[in-house]
Chain A
Amino acid sequence: MRELLAPLRVLRYSAGNAWADMWVIFSPLTWSLGWVSRVLVQVVFFALIGLLVDSDDAVRYLFIGNAVMITAMEATMSVTTTTWERRQGTMPLLVAAPTRLWPVFVGRGVQWLPTGVITASVALFGLGPAFGVEWTLARALTVFGCLVAVAVATYCFALLLSAIVLTVMDLHNIVSNLAQAITMLIAGVMVPVTFWPGWVQGAAQALPLTHGLAAIRTAVDASTVASVAGDVTAGLVFTIGVGACWLLSAALLLEYLAAAGRRSGSIEFAE
């Protein structure tokens, strides 16, 4: 039983590190005044393009898409912070420790989950009415649940990217930013997924945000949440399912890298 619970204990310690990192990067003042306001203006910037296109529907569509995108964007930022573990030179110790490597990395960037959900919530619930989105308690709770699912599932996707960039550290910023830009482009944030050719639509299905955002749009556009409960639940199941696949792939890749590093003597995953 103790062995089964060991990954959870490692995960808890690693999450503690992540949380400490969060308050090194930000103070409560710089996070709320600097980061949250910057992200809210980002949402407004894209929503305003609807004004340029001269369509209220476009303003609303862009507002919802970009507000939810923030959750995915912050979860993807974990690609950068997770790789700090290698930069800090702790890899040999981690690999030598009598535990698996993957729980360390799963916990290493979790600070982006609550911040992504909170920031997107502030945007959706705070600015929403100004952009034509009205809230009832049931609708708000449903959307909040979807945001949590999007955050966790996208974080799992980002974990695989983190594992990949552990071998090419110089690319961590590029991979993180490219992942965000591609997600923004094809996951239904700016235009419906059906706007793109079939192969792009297929690729979009592998992104958790595609399913989570579709569920949120369904909940927001319906007259009552109860009338679309089935569709929203299906969207959530897809979001979590896709995320679970990414988590499994990331854990397998991390364990493979640790084993390969031990064998080749390049335990720091040097290139």
Chain B
Amino acid sequence: MTALRTGLQFQARMLRRSFGDLIALVTAPLMTLVFLAIIRHGGREDLAPYAVLAPALIVLWGVALMVSGEIVARDRENESLEAIVASPTSFTGVLTGRIAAVTFVSLVGFAESWLAAFLVFRVAVPVFHPTAFILIVGVTAFAMAATACVMSAIFVLARSARAFQNSLTYPFYVLGGVMVPIALLPDWLEPISRLVFLSWSSDLLRDALSPAPIADLAPRLLAILILGTAAYLLGVALVRRTVNRLRHTGSLSYA
């Protein structure tokens, strides 16, 4: 627990000093305007909930990929990984705390989207099911942090994977249905997209913004939780394996 808290506090301090890492939060309001402009020009103002949710989910994924996914690789580059691994605290605990801090900060994207929509287009998107909405955001943040844990390990374990890091954005925005629901895409994509937790989250979040009752809330939340837990277990196992391999090969730092 101490490792988790320490990781959280450390990463919060790091983020204050490296604002450039949170570029997705700077562009989120503009992306909201992009999506709102398209739907307003198309005469479909009823799709405003889609337009404000999409940038928030893009921020969540983008920050996890570009900041959380880089944590271990950066520690290795600046040669702090040796000291962290040598200390008697849990490495995965510190890492989990750090990823939690990044994920928590990225949730600001939700507030930014809503605010940009209101300030520029005077579009107010009501949350018809606030309790469910908060619950879905919480579960989504957990699944995102868990997925970031996997990314963090993979980018160190297979250095070539880092070359494809930037490629893991838009394909997942499509598969995750962040703007266009999976139901509108070809049928063969659905089984693949259901393995991406974002597809469950985006559908559920849109439902929480609709006045109609949310169908099957519990099983759909469970699906996100299962995907998140599986990702976390895989992530922790991969991080342990990665660190052990680096210890074994004596390549904890690049020096």
A residues within 8 Å of B by Cβ? Answer: 26-27, 30, 33-35, 37-38, 41-42, 44-45, 48-55, 58, 62, 170-174, 177-178, 181-182, 184-185, 190-192, 195
CB neighbours of A184 from chain B (8 A): 30, 34
Given A49-B38, A191-B41, A38 contacting B50 (CB threshold 8 A): no
**B38 & A190 in contact (Cβ 8 Å cutoff):** yes
Q: For residue A217, give the distance in angstroms from its CB to the closest CB of chain B.
A: 15
Is there a chain A Cβ closer than 8 Å to B249's Cβ? no
Nearest B-chain residue to A43, judged by Cβ: B170
**A55 & B42 in contact (Cβ 8 Å cutoff):** yes
Could you say which interface size class chain B belongs to? 35 or more
Q: For residue B15, give the distance in angstroms from its CB to the closest CB of chain A.
A: 14
Additional 13 contacts, C-beta under 8 A, given A181-B34, A195-B40: A34-B166, A34-B167, A37-B171, A38-B170, A45-B170, A49-B38, A49-B180, A58-B38, A174-B19, A177-B23, A177-B26, A178-B30, A195-B41
Q: Which of B134-182 contact A (CB under 8 A)?
A: 160, 163-164, 166-167, 169-171, 173-174, 179-181
B residues within 8 Å of A by Cβ? Answer: 19-20, 23, 26-27, 30-31, 33-35, 37-44, 47, 50, 160, 163-164, 166-167, 169-171, 173-174, 179-181, 184-185
Given A30-B163, A52-B50, A45 contacting B179 (CB threshold 8 A): yes
Q: Which of B38, B164, B174, B179 contacts A41 (CB 8 A)?
A: B174
Q: Which of A42, A191, A192 contacts B170 (CB 8 A)?
A: A42
Q: Which of A33, A48, A190 contacts B184 (CB 8 A)?
A: A48
**A48 & B166 in contact (Cβ 8 Å cutoff):** no
Q: For residue B187, give the distance in angstroms from its CB to the closest CB of chain A.
A: 14
Q: For residue B46, give the distance in angstroms from its CB to the closest CB of chain A.
A: 11
**A62 & B38 in contact (Cβ 8 Å cutoff):** yes
Nearest B-chain residue to A52, judged by Cβ: B180
Given A27-B163, A185-B37, A190-B34, A171 contacting B20 (CB threshold 8 A): yes
Q: Which of B30, B44, B50, B164 contacts A34 (CB 8 A)?
A: B164
CB neighbours of A171 from chain B (8 A): 20
Q: Is the interface of B mostly helix, strand, loop or mixed?
A: helix
Across the A-B interface, the 5 shortest Cβ-Cβ residue pairs:
A53-B42, A38-B167, A181-B30, A30-B163, A191-B41
CB neighbours of A52 from chain B (8 A): 39, 44, 47, 50, 179-181, 184
**A41 & B170 in contact (Cβ 8 Å cutoff):** yes
CB neighbours of B179 from chain A (8 A): 45, 48-49, 52
A45-B173 Cα distance, complex, nearest whole Å: 8
CB neighbours of B26 from chain A (8 A): 174, 177-178
Q: Which of A27, A41, A53, A172 contacts B39 (CB 8 A)?
A: A53
Nearest B-chain residue to A58, judged by Cβ: B42
CB neighbours of A58 from chain B (8 A): 38, 41-42
**B163 & A34 in contact (Cβ 8 Å cutoff):** yes
CB neighbours of A41 from chain B (8 A): 170-171, 174
Would you list 6 pairs from A and B whose C-beta atoms are within 8 A, ordered by A residue?
A34-B164, A48-B174, A49-B39, A51-B184, A174-B23, A195-B40
Nearest A-chain residue to B164, judged by Cβ: A34
CB neighbours of A38 from chain B (8 A): 166-167, 169-171
CB neighbours of A30 from chain B (8 A): 160, 163-164
**A177 & B27 in contact (Cβ 8 Å cutoff):** yes
Q: For residue A198, give the distance in angstroms from its CB to the closest CB of chain B.
A: 16
